[in-house]
Amino acid sequence: MIPTSARAISTAQTPDWRAQAACLSRDPELWFPRSSTGPVSVQAAEAKAICRACPVALICATWAIEQRVQHGIYGGLDETQRRTIARKATRHDLARAGLAVEVRAEWARDIRDPLVEVYLRSSVQDDGGHVWWRGRKTSYSVAGRVLTPGQIAYELGHGRAPSGHVKAMCGQPFCVAAEHLADGLDRWQRDHATAA
């Protein structure tokens, strides 16, 4: 996501690529997930998907790597991915063309995560923050496991497989927004905390 300061620069000095950014009209929060380390979050996956369809993704990614931008998703890459590429670039004295190759390799790695792929292909978020499953199946075979849409969304968003039944707690029983979902353990912990 292009930060406000960079947007100001964009109009003043370099109006070219930033004016085409797919994130300009979107909620910036999406590009700053609470956690971008460990298992990929649903939020990060969504931001990265928008980046990958953005016409200036490659320029944005190399810009963020060269500028050593610390936080957020740029050009479809989170900070850990950018740091990895930056270290490689220093070690091997990579020119910009070499950086582009590394960026594309990271994109390919993300897409190969089968959970991310199924989730991105089959879900859509509405303006209220709920996520709807538009895939027709009630369960999916993913890397040798059979998972429901709720289980897929929960695992991506919470970084672990759910324990027991996954339920939407937002009042929309069919919502699969990861942050609206709770598994049996979450509900038990919540009830336990309320009772204590």
Q: In terms of CB distance, is 74 or 119 closer to ligand SF4?
A: 74
- Contact residues toward ligand SF4 (CB under 6 A) are 1-2, 21-23, 31, 50-51, 54, 56-57, 60, 74-75
Per-residue x/- marks for Zn ion, 155-174, CB under 5 A? ---------------x-x--
Partner whose footprint covers residue 177, from Zn ion, ligand SF4, none (CB < 5 to 8 Å by kind)? Zn ion
CA distance 122 to 163: 23
Local structure of 80: helix, strand or coil: helix
CA distance 129 to 177: 7
Local structure of 182: helix, strand or coil: strand
Neighbours of 109 (CB within 10 A): 10
User: Count of residues binding Zn ion (CB under 5 A)?
Assistant: 6
CA distance 164 to 190: 15
The least distance separating ligand SF4 from the CB of residue 60, rounded to whole angstroms, comes to: 3
The least distance separating ligand SF4 from the CB of residue 140, rounded to whole angstroms, comes to: 27
The least distance separating ligand SF4 from the CB of residue 25, rounded to whole angstroms, comes to: 10
The least distance separating ligand SF4 from the CB of residue 63, rounded to whole angstroms, comes to: 8
Looking at residues 127 to 156 of the shown chain, list those that interact with Zn ion (rule: CB under 5 A): 130
Nearest to 87 by CA among 106, 74, 73: 106
Helix, strand, coil in percent for the chain, rounding step 5? 50, 10, 40
Q: Which of 24-32, 102-110, 133-141, 180-188 is the region at the interface with Zn ion (rule: CB under 5 A)?
A: 180-188
Task: Output the six-digit token pair for 21.
Answer: 């950014």
DSSP string covering 114-135: HHHHHHHHHEEE-TTS-EEE--
Partner whose footprint covers residue 65, from ligand SF4, Zn ion, none (CB < 5 to 8 Å by kind)? none
Residue numbers at the binding site for Zn ion (CB under 5 A): 130, 170, 172, 175, 177, 180
